[in-house]
Chains A and B, each alone.
Chain A
Amino acid sequence: EVVMTQSPATLSVSPGDRATLSCRASQTIFSNLAWYQQKPGQPPRLLIYGASTRATGVPARFSGSGSGTEFTLTISSLQSEDFAVYYCQQYENWPPYTFGQGTKLEIK
Chain B
Amino acid sequence: EVHLAESGGGLVQPGRSLRLSCTTSGFAFGDFALTWVRQAPGKGLEWVGFISGKPSAGRTEYAASVKGRFSISRDDSKSIAYLQMNSLKTDDTAVYYCTRGPYYDSSGYCDYWGQGILVTVSS
Binding site for B on A (CB under 8 A): 34, 36, 42-46, 49, 55, 87, 89, 91, 94-102
B116 (CB) vs chain A CBs: closest residue: A43
| Interface residues on chain B, number (Cβ under 8 Å) | 22
Chain B residues lying within 8 Å of A94, measured Cβ to Cβ, are 61, 106-107
B46 touches A99 (CB 8 A): yes
Q: What does DSSP make chain A's interface, helix, strand, loop or mixed?
A: loop
Beyond A43-B97, A43-B115, A49-B111, whether A91 also contacts B45 by CB under 8 A is no
Interface-centre pick from A36, A42, A55, A97 (highest chain B CB count, 10 A)? A97
Please indicate which of the listed interface residues B47, B49, B102, B106 has the most CB atoms of chain A within 10 Å of its own CB.
B47
**Taking the nearest CB of chain B, how far is it from the CB of A37, in angstroms?**
11
In the complex the two chains form, what is the Cα distance from A17 to B107 in whole Å? 35
- What are 8 A-B residue pairs whose CB atoms fall within 8 Å in the complex? A43-B113, A46-B111, A94-B61, A94-B106, A96-B64, A99-B44, A99-B45, A99-B47
| Interface status of B14 (Cβ within 8 A of chain A) | no
B63 touching A95, Cβ below 8 Å: yes
Other-chain residue from B64, B107, B115 in contact with A97 (beta carbon distance below 8 A): B107
Contact indicator per residue, chain B 81-118, by CB within 8 Å of chain A (1) or not (0): 00000000000000001000010001111110111100
